[in-house]
Chain A
Amino acid sequence: MTDLDPISIQATRASMRFLLLFSRQGRLRLQKWYTAISEREKKKIIREMTTMVLARQPRTCNFIQWKDMKIVYKRYASLYFCLGVEHEENELLALEIIHRYVELLDKYFGNVCELDIIFNFEKAYFILDEFLMGGEIQETSKQIVNRAIESSDMLQEDDHSEWYEVELFG
C-alpha cells in the first residue's frame, strides 16, 4: 500500500500550506489557504498562529517549528506576515517569498500600509494569486505580475465606462 506511505504523501504536497496576515492586535487581514481543511481547523490555526507569533520576542528567530510544519513569519511595520511551509522547505527562501510579496504590494499601492490592504483587500488577493498559486511560486518576475494586475485594472475601468453608457439610455 504505497499510497499510504507517509513519505510519498509528503512528497506530493505543495511547499506552502497557508499565508496569514494579521495586525499587532491580532486582527486578521488576509488569509490564503493552499490545503483543504475545515473551517474549524482554519480558525484554530489562525488563533494559534496569532498567539504564537505575537508572543515572540523581537530579536528572536523568524522560524518556528510547529506541529509538523514550519512557520516563517516576518513583521513589516504593524503587520505580521505568517507563512506555513512544509518541513523540508528552506526557511530563508520562505522569508524571501514574504518579502517579494511585500515588494509587489508596495509597487502596486505605492508605499503600502496596512490601510491599503484593509481597503483594497481584493487587490491584495489578486496580486497574491498572480504571485503564488497552489502553494508554489507561480511567477518570479515582478514586472510580469505588475503588468498583469495593471491590465486587469484596465479591463475593470473599461467595463465601468460601458455601464455608464447603458445607464444613460435607461
Chain B
Amino acid sequence: MYEILDESLRRAEMNHNITYAILYECVKCIYTIHPKSDLLEKAAKCIGNFVLSPKINLKYLGLKALTYVVQQDPKLALQHQMTIIECLDHPDLIIKRETLELLFRITNDQNVTVIIEKMLDFLRISEDDHTTIDLVGKVAELAEKYAPDNEWFIDTMNTVFSLGGDLLQPDIPNSFLKLLSEGFDSVEEDKKLRLFAVNSYISLLQGDSSKLPQRFLQVICWVLGEYSHLREDLEPDVTVRLLAKLLDMKSSSSETKCWVLMAMTKLCPGGAALALVHNVSETYSSSLDTMLRQRAQELQILSQDSELQAKVLPRSASMEPVEVDSSLSFLDGFVSEALAAGAAPYKPPHQRQEELSRSKALNLEPYGLSLPISMSSCSITDRQSPTLLSISSGLSGDSTDVSHKGSSTVLKLDGVKRLWGRDGYLAQKEPTDEAPRIEAASPVRSANQLGDNNASNSQTPTPTPTPECDQEKQQLASSLFVGLASQSSVCLMGKSDPTFQRFRRKTKASGSSEQITNPLVLPSDGSDNLLYKNLLDSPDLDVSPPEQTPGLAAPNGSCDAEEESTDTDVKEIETPPIRDERVTAQASPHDDPDGSKDPSLTWHLPAELSALSHSNLTPLFSKQNLDVSACHVQKEDSVVLVVFISNCSDSFLQQIRLQVDSEELEVSCVSDCPSEELQSHSVAVCQYFLTVKRPSVDFDLFAAVSWQPPAGSPLTTQFSYRLSLTTFIRALRLSTEEYGAMWLAFSHDTKQNLTLIHDGQDPLAATLDVLKRKLQLHVVEVIGVEAIVACCLQQDQPCLMHCRMHAGMLAVWLRSPVPDLPDCLLYCCQRALQEL
C-alpha cells in the first residue's frame, strides 16, 4: 500500500481537479493507516501546498486535511499558522468556518480565550441554524474544558446562552447547571462561582430581559432560586420582584413561568414579598396549564408554611440524592380507605389492555403466512433443476406450511419452453408438446428412425407420437427403395437380378462344406457386390477363401444393405427391415458375400446367436491343421465372442483348450470348447460373454489355444482379438424428459468439436446418421441445430450426448456416470466421422 500511495503522490503533478481530489484522498489515507514517516512528510508537504494555494477550493481542502491531521501532528498547524490566521478573516464564510473547525481541534488552555472569542464572533454573524448549533456546542465544550477562570466562564456561558437561544441542545444548559451545582472540590470556589453567576444574572434581569432566550431565562431562574441566598446583600424580596417581572413578560413561555414559580417558591421563606407572592399564586392557580397550577399551589402553600418549605426545599442540600419511596407506602392508608368506600381496585395497564381486547372481540393475531399452494406437482417431478431448489428454499413459511412444502417444491413447468439452470439454459429439455418441431424435423427423423430401428436388434417402437405413422411409412418406403437402388446399381454393372438369386440359392444348398463351391460363387458374388468391392480393402476377396482379410466390411451386408461406407472395424451397419425379415426366414447367411468360412462357420453358430447380427468372422490364425477364427455377436445386453476352432486336417485333434482373457473386459465362458477330441473337418465352437470392466476405445483380447495333434506334442498358440468400443455400445431409448433427468445427474463429461458431414441440405442429420449407424446411438430428439443422443455401454452405463451445429462444426458434449466413457465414445465418433 505504501508504494501505491507513494506513486500517487509523486505522479500527481498536473494541474487538474481530479489529481487534487486523488491527492486529498491519499493524504487522508496516509494519516489513517499505520504511520510511515516519509509518507507522512510527503503528505504534510502536500497539505501545505493545498493550504497555500491561491485556489480557494484547494485552500478549503487543505484546511480540511489539516483538521484531520492536526490531531496527530499539531506541528503542522504551527507551520501554517499565518495562513490559518488569514483564513480566519477570509471573506468567504465557508473558509472561516473550516478554520474555526481547525482551531477547535487545536484548542488548549492557552489559546482558548482567543479561539472562543473568534467563534463567538462568527456565531454572531452566522445565520445558518446548523452552524449555530454546531458551534455553540463546540464553544460550550471548550469553555467547560479550558475555562481559565470563573468569571470568564460565566461570561462565556452567558454569551453562549444568549447567542444560542432556543436552538441550544438541551444538554448544554443541563450540564452547565450541573456543573454549578456539583461545583468543584473547594467550597470557596463553588461559592465564588455561584456568586458570580448570581450577580451577573441579577444585573441581566435588572436590564432589559425581554430579548433573552427562554432557555437562558430558565437557567437564570434556577440559579437565582438556588443560590441567590449566597449574596448577602441581596434581599430575596428584590429577587422575587425581578422574577415576577419575568412572569409578566409576554414572551415568557409557560415553561419559563414554571421555572419562575419554582424559583419563587425557593425564595419565599422569610416572608419575602408576601403580598406579591400571594397575588402571583392566586393568579396562576386558576391557570389552564396544569403545571402552572401545580406550581402556583405549591407556592401558595409553601410560602405560608415555612417549616414545610424548609423540609421540602432544603437550602443547601440540593444535590443530595432524594430518597423516594417508590411503593408510595404513605398512601396506603388513603388507598385502603377508598377501597373500603367502594372504589374499584387498581388495574395495571396490561390488564386493562386485555380486557379491552376481549370485550371488543377483535382478533389481534397476525395473519399467518398464506402461501399460494397452487404449486401442484408438475409432470416433471424428477427434474431437480437448480431453479427449483432455489425457489423452494426461498419459500419461508410457518411451521404450518412445512407440510405444504413437499408438494410445492416443484415449479409448474408446463408450457415452459426452455429452462434456466445454473450454467445457463438447460440442455434441450422441453417438456412441452413437440408437435411443431416434429414437423420440422420429420425428414431428419425418418432417417433417424430408420437408423434406430436397424441399429437396435429389437424392434421397439419409437417413443414419439402420431407423426410416427408417417415416419414409418416413409421409413418403409426408403428401405424398400434403398434395396432397389442397390439392385439397380448392380444392374448398372451389367448383372441382373437372377445372378443374385442364384447366389443365394446356391449357398443355401451348399451346406457346411462349401469351401469348394464358394470360391466359384464368389467371383460372381464379388461382381454382384461391386459396391462392396469398392468398399472393401481387400481386392482378393474371391481368391483365398480360407484366409480372409479382416477388411471385410459388409458383414451381413447383402446388397440391400445401405451403401454407406463402413470402417475397417466391423460395426453394425444398419440394415433395412427387409433384412430383418430375412433373419427370421433364413437361418443363414446374410454374410454370404463374405468369405468362404463364414457360411460354414456361422452355420455352426448356436441358434440363438445366428439369428442376431454379428460381425464378420475374423480368421485368427491357421496353423497346420487348425484354423481358428472368431467373431463376435452383439446381443442386446452383451457381446458374445464365438471362437471357431476347426480341424482342417484329416486326423482328430486332442486336448483342445482355449483360454481367453482381457484387461478391460470381463470374459466369462458360456460354453466351453470340447476338450477331448476334435474330429477332422469339424468345428468346435466356444462362446464367451464379454462385459466391459473399464471403458476404452479398443479392447484387446488375448487368447491361447492349445491342442495336441495325434502324433505330436501339445502345441499352444496365442492370438489376439481386437474389439472396438462400438461393439459394446447399444442405443439407449429415452424420452426427452428422461434424458433431461439423466443429464443433470451425470458428472463425467467431455466436450469437443467434430467435423460435420456437409452433405446436402442437412449436415446435422447426415452426421447424426453416420454416427448412429456406426455407433448404434439413439437420437432422442433433434431440434433445429441441436440434437440429443443417447446410448449405453451394456445395460447400466448410459452415455448422453448433446450435439449442436455451430460455425460449421458439430459441438458435442457427452456426459456419463462412467469415468472414461465419454472420452472413449468421443474418440469413436471422431474416428467414425473421419473414416467417411
Interface residues of A (CB under 8 A from B): 57, 59-68, 90-93, 95-96, 99
Contact = CB atoms under 8 A, between A and B. Distances in A.
Interface string B77-107: 0000000000000011011010000000000
B60 interface: yes
A91 B130 contact: no
B94 A92 contact: no
Contacts of B92: 57, 59-61
A65 B20 CA distance: 20
Nearest to A100: B18
A91 B65 CA distance: 12
A90 B60 CA distance: 12
B46 to A, nearest CB: 14
Given A57-B91, A90-B25, A96-B18, A67 B57 contact: no
Interface in B305-348: none
B95 A61 contact: yes
Contacts of B60: 61, 63, 91
A99 B57 CA distance: 15
Contacts of B131: 65
Given A59-B56, A62-B57, A65-B131, A96 B21 contact: yes
Given A67-B130, A91-B60, A96 B17 contact: yes
B24 interface: yes
Nearest to B94: A61
18 contacts: A57-B92, A60-B56, A61-B56, A61-B57, A61-B59, A61-B60, A61-B95, A63-B60, A63-B94, A64-B94, A65-B131, A66-B130, A68-B130, A90-B24, A91-B21, A91-B60, A93-B21, A95-B17
B17 A99 contact: yes
A32 B632 CA distance: 81
Interface string B55-70: 0110111000000000
A167 B92 CA distance: 62
A142 to B, nearest CB: 14
A59 B94 CA distance: 12
Contacts of A96: 17-18, 21
Contacts of A99: 17
A70 to B, nearest CB: 10
Contacts of A57: 91-92
Q: Which 3 A-B pairs have the closest CB atoms?
A: A92-B21, A60-B92, A61-B94
Given A63-B60, A92-B20, A92-B57, 13 more contacts: A57-B92, A60-B94, A61-B56, A62-B56, A64-B94, A65-B97, A67-B130, A68-B130, A90-B25, A91-B60, A92-B24, A93-B18, A96-B17
A166 to B, nearest CB: 31
Interface string B9-46: 00000000110110011000000000000000000000
B17 A92 contact: yes
Contacts of A67: 130
A90 B61 CA distance: 9
A66 B134 CA distance: 12
A61 B98 CA distance: 11
A95 B61 CA distance: 13
Nearest to A94: B21
A136 to B, nearest CB: 16
A94 B92 CA distance: 20
Nearest to A99: B17
A169 B393 CA distance: 55
A17 B224 CA distance: 49
B311 to A, nearest CB: 44
Contacts of B61: 91-92
A64 B56 CA distance: 13
Contacts of B21: 90-93, 96
Given A66-B130, A99-B17, A91 B94 contact: no
B128 to A, nearest CB: 8
A87 to B, nearest CB: 11
A95 B94 contact: no
Contacts of A60: 56, 91-92, 94-95
Contacts of A61: 56-57, 59-60, 92, 94-95
B41 to A, nearest CB: 23
Contacts of B24: 90, 92
Contacts of B94: 60-61, 63-65
Contacts of B95: 60-61
Contacts of B97: 65
A68 B57 CA distance: 20
Count chain B CB atoms within 10 A of each CB in A62, A67, A90 and give the residue with the most. A90
A21 B666 CA distance: 84
Contacts of B91: 57, 60
Count chain A CB atoms within 10 A of each CB in B24, B57, B92, B130 and give the residue with the most. B57
Contacts of A92: 17-18, 20-21, 24, 57, 61
B57 A91 contact: yes
A128 B649 CA distance: 99
A57 B56 CA distance: 12
B675 to A, nearest CB: 85
Nearest to A93: B21
A92 B24 CA distance: 9
A68 B95 CA distance: 17
A20 B694 CA distance: 73
A51 to B, nearest CB: 11
Contacts of B56: 59-62
A61 B55 CA distance: 9
B32 to A, nearest CB: 13
Contacts of A64: 94
B24 to A, nearest CB: 6
Contacts of A93: 18, 21
Contacts of A63: 57, 60, 94
Contacts of B18: 92-93, 96
B460 to A, nearest CB: 54
Contacts of A65: 94, 97, 130-131
A46 to B, nearest CB: 18
A99 B24 CA distance: 19
Nearest to B18: A96
Interface in B791-833: none
Count chain B CB atoms within 10 A of each CB in A57, A61, A68 and give the residue with the most. A61
B136 to A, nearest CB: 16
B169 to A, nearest CB: 15
A61 B91 CA distance: 10
B110 to A, nearest CB: 28
Contacts of B25: 90
Contacts of B128: 66
Nearest to A62: B57
A83 B59 CA distance: 20
B18 to A, nearest CB: 5
A162 to B, nearest CB: 29
A64 B128 CA distance: 11
A91 to B, nearest CB: 7
A64 B24 CA distance: 18
Contacts of A59: 56, 92
A95 B55 CA distance: 14
A165 B57 CA distance: 57
A52 B61 CA distance: 21
A99 B17 CA distance: 10
